[in-house]
Chains A and B, each alone.
Chain A
Amino acid sequence: MGTTSHLNQPNQAADQLLRVDDISLRFGGVNVLANVSTSVAEGEIFAIIGPNGAGKTCLLNCINRFYQPVSGRIYFEGRDITPLRPHQIPELGIARTFQNVELFKGMTVIDNIKLGRHVHLDTGLIAAGCYFGKARKTELALRKEIEERIIDLLEIEHIRKKRVGALPYGLQKRVELARALAMKPKLLLLDEPVTGMNLEETEDIARFILDIHDEWGVTIVLIEHDMGVVMDISDRVCVLDFGVKIAEGSPDDVRHNEQVIKAYLGEQDLTYSRLGA
């Protein structure tokens, strides 16, 4: 269980970028999350794993305020973000990608990415319609930054003018990552970034995640089923099972945790092949 014990000590809050404090979420009679507490330190790659239906995505949805937990608080940079609405979250610097790609299919790749910057642009409606002076300068600066920092980093130059709906799944996932980057995130929530990808694409995405983490200094929370990726890139891992946190610690701790092995697989024999030990 390792690091869970320090959670209730407020004096450690300084280096905690995100703190989830005792949240519970219920859909009807189903306890989706039960008293989950965890925290993510600044500059960390933090993985959330668990079997299907463990409540991983629900936890992310609570963090960016899409779901309203029945109890508990969520703090970002020491500020209580529980009362905020979903559209107020990106402004704080929390960006996310989705399990099922949620791009705007009628827009081009570059427009999708530009949209990520929406909350940070202050062009008024009339200024936008006139497209003169500052409005124009803002758009051009945005285009330049996106081209040179994001599109270049994620290697999607060749598709930037294409409509997103026409792209293959692997590239759509990459565009979604690009859009999240355009949101100027301090914290990036990635929901299964490599699901459905072949080995090469998986390695590409893992490399991008590490690049983003190293070059941009972004803290990353990721949900992933691919244990190879999780064990390789994350600093700490949190394991959920049926809405309860059963373990948290370094990849190595988690890999050898009896409870995790039991909950995750049920059978001891398969442990080492599935957890990649």
Chain B
Amino acid sequence: MRCGDFRESYLEDEKIFQSTFVKVWLVILLVGLVTLPLFANDYVMYVANQIGFAVIAAVGLNLLTGCTGQISLGHAAFIGVGGYATAVLITRFGIPFWFALPLAGLISAGVGMVIGIPSLRVKGLYLCIATLAAQFILEYVFINWEGVTQGIRGINVPPPRIGSFVFATEKSFYYLTLVVVVAAVGFARNILRTKWGRAFVAIRDRDLAAEMMGIDLFRHKLIAFALSSFYAGVAGGLWVSFMKIVTPEHFPFSRSIEYLAMIIVGGLGSVLGSIFGAIFMVLVPELLNVATGSLKGFFPNLTQIFIPMKEVIFGFLIVGFLIFEPHGLAEIWHRIKNFFSLWPFSY
């Protein structure tokens, strides 16, 4: 139970992590994350890395879709731009990974801004279709711009290294991912509590009123697109460096939908929600894999049903969330937190 929690200055009230109680848990969580590779096997670390990439990309998409209200169906393509940019910068231009990654983010941000230009004129479903076009155009470019992307053969990407230390294993790469995830999440959370975040939400809630409050709609929408694509680009760069290869089938349209599902399941407009959503969308299929794998021994005749069943169960879970908790996992988390903040004297 939390009590005696009084704020005595505006500084205390503006903090993201307000009580010592929360800070203690945060430290425990961080220690847990840092020490995870000591206990976990390579498979778990592989999943943890995947979650990390998903978190970065989902936070980016949530800034655009959840906060600014501009639906994007091309997020996977932006991730692809980042991935290809990283690969090309490293292999063609010999730029070290550490510079290639932010550069790839910037390139992706540039592409995102171009894709965002229609947002000046079109909103809602129409913008959705415009970004859908971006997805297919970029996919086409990945496959057919052989000179740069090497088409469907893809590009082999060397793992990042510092001096003689190479981030080649799941465990070592995990630390790299963790650092970027923490930075990305912190940055997004800070953006949301300053003038930029407020302007984004204002555009989502009432764009005409936002304009009359002095917000240049076009500029801010473009910035939201750029920011979101930057996140996507960084996620893509990390991802291809982890997989050590980039091919066009990493970035299909279905993955764009998956990212939208992440932020919807997690909670639109909430950084925490993006994290929950990313964990959910990566973890649940893997858990279903494990579950069906272990059931195979008991029902050898039903193996063929298990694989499609996995998809069906996954679909039902998502629909269930939309029906029973439309505000997403973040809302469930808040409710649990509120319950325990007064527990056991909650009257």
Q: Which A residues are within 8 Å of any B CB, using their own CB?
A: 64, 66, 86-91, 96, 98, 102-107, 111, 114-119, 121, 123, 125, 128-131, 135, 139-140, 143-144, 147, 179, 183
* B202-A115 in contact (CB<8A): yes
Contact residues of A: prevailing secondary structure: helix
Q: A123-B194, A139-B193 are in contact. List 7 more A-B contacts (CB 8 A).
A: A104-B209, A107-B201, A115-B199, A117-B195, A125-B223, A128-B190, A183-B214
CA–CA, A119 and B211, complex, Å: 11
Considering only CB atoms, which chain A residue lies closest to B197 in the complex? A128
* B190-A118 in contact (CB<8A): no
Q: Tell whether B323 is near chain A: CB-to-CB under 8 Å.
A: no
Q: Tell whether B187 is near chain A: CB-to-CB under 8 Å.
A: yes
Q: Tell whether B155 is near chain A: CB-to-CB under 8 Å.
A: no
CA–CA, A87 and B102, complex, Å: 32
CA–CA, A111 and B217, complex, Å: 18
* A107-B198 in contact (CB<8A): yes
Q: Tell whether B244 is near chain A: CB-to-CB under 8 Å.
A: no
Choose among B14, B213, B227 the residue that contacts A118 (Cβ–Cβ < 8 A).
Answer: B213
* B206-A119 in contact (CB<8A): no
Per the 8 Å Cβ criterion, residues 169-211 of B in contact with A are: 187-188, 190-191, 193-199, 201-202, 204-206, 208-211
> Chain B interface residue count: which class?
20 to 34
* A64-B212 in contact (CB<8A): yes
Per the 8 Å Cβ criterion, residues 215-261 of B in contact with A are: 215-217, 223, 227
* B206-A118 in contact (CB<8A): no
Q: Tell whether B10 is near chain A: CB-to-CB under 8 Å.
A: yes
* B195-A123 in contact (CB<8A): yes
- Would A128 and B191 be within 8 Å (CB), given that A91-B214, A104-B201, A115-B202 are in contact? yes
The interface residues of chain B lying within 8 Å CB-to-CB of A104 are: 201-202, 205-206, 209-210
CA–CA, A111 and B210, complex, Å: 13
22 contacts between A and B (CB under 8 A): A86-B211, A89-B212, A90-B213, A90-B214, A98-B209, A102-B209, A106-B201, A107-B201, A111-B198, A114-B195, A114-B198, A116-B213, A118-B199, A119-B213, A128-B197, A129-B187, A129-B191, A130-B187, A131-B190, A135-B194, A144-B10, A179-B213
Rounded to whole Å, the gap between the CB of A135 and the closest CB of chain B is 6
Q: Tell whether B11 is near chain A: CB-to-CB under 8 Å.
A: yes
* B201-A111 in contact (CB<8A): yes
Chain A CB within 10 A, most for which of B11, B204, B205, B213 = B213
CA–CA, A118 and B196, complex, Å: 8
Rounded to whole Å, the gap between the CB of A237 and the closest CB of chain B is 25
Q: Closest 9 interchain pairs by CB?
A: A90-B214, A119-B214, A102-B209, A104-B205, A131-B190, A128-B194, A129-B187, A121-B195, A143-B10
Choose among A117, A130, A139 the residue that contacts B14 (Cβ–Cβ < 8 A).
Answer: A139
* B14-A87 in contact (CB<8A): no
The interface residues of chain B lying within 8 Å CB-to-CB of A144 are: 10
The interface residues of chain A lying within 8 Å CB-to-CB of B196 are: 123, 125, 128
CA–CA, A140 and B12, complex, Å: 10
The interface residues of chain B lying within 8 Å CB-to-CB of A117 are: 195
Choose among B10, B211, B215 the residue that contacts A147 (Cβ–Cβ < 8 A).
Answer: B10
- Would A87 and B217 be within 8 Å (CB), given that A106-B201, A125-B227 are in contact? yes
Q: Tell whether B269 is near chain A: CB-to-CB under 8 Å.
A: yes
CA–CA, A234 and B143, complex, Å: 69
The interface residues of chain A lying within 8 Å CB-to-CB of B204 are: 106
The interface residues of chain A lying within 8 Å CB-to-CB of B198 are: 107, 111, 114-115, 118
Rounded to whole Å, the gap between the CB of A176 and the closest CB of chain B is 9
